[in-house]
């Protein structure tokens, strides 16, 4: 079963953290078509947030077409056209990122500097692909 987590220090509203986690899990293939998300009350109890916050996240996911709520049954992941990656590719990429993170920490970068460097690299790659 999919488990949510909330980082109260991130500055990102809890409902958006839930939305982002579902998006990422779908993209990475951890959540697939037909998988049921935890019930709203289960999430609220597990991560200690208001059930209305969870409901807001689920509503946004429904509006985006990622999930469908079925009264009395739960909320289920829809079939998505976005390609997911294989577990082997995911593992390989994750190991590469972990190596990169170790090198960044060894170079003296803190979390904020690592995030800035990563974001800059992602944005630069986007711009190069557009040109």
* Residue 82: per-residue pLDDT: 55
- Could you tell me where the DSSP H helices lie in 2-110? 14-27, 40-47, 51-63, 87-106
Find the mean pLDDT for residues 34-44: 95
- Judge if pTM exceeds 0.75: no
**CA separation, residue 9 to residues 79, 80, 83, 107, 118 (Å):** 33, 31, 32, 25, 20
- pLDDT for 67-103, tens place per residue? 999 999 999 999 876 556 777 887 888 899 999 999 9
């Amino acid at each position: 079963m999919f488990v949510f987590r909330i980082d109260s220090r991130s500055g990102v509203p809890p409902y958006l953290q839930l939305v982002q986690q579902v998006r990422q899990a779908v993209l990475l293939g951890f959540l697939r078509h037909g998988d049921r998300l935890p019930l709203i009350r289960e999430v609220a109890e597990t991560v200690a947030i208001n059930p209305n916050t969870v409901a807001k996240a689920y509503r946004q996911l429904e509006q985006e077409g990622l999930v469908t709520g079925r009264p009395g049954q739960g909320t289920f992941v829809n079939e998505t056209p976005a390609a997911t990656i294989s577990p082997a590719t995911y593992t390989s990429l994750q190991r590469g990122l972990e190596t990169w993170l170790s090198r960044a920490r060894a170079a003296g970068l803190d979390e904020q500097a690592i995030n800035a460097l990563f974001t800059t690299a992602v944005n630069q790659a986007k711009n190069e692909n557009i040109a």
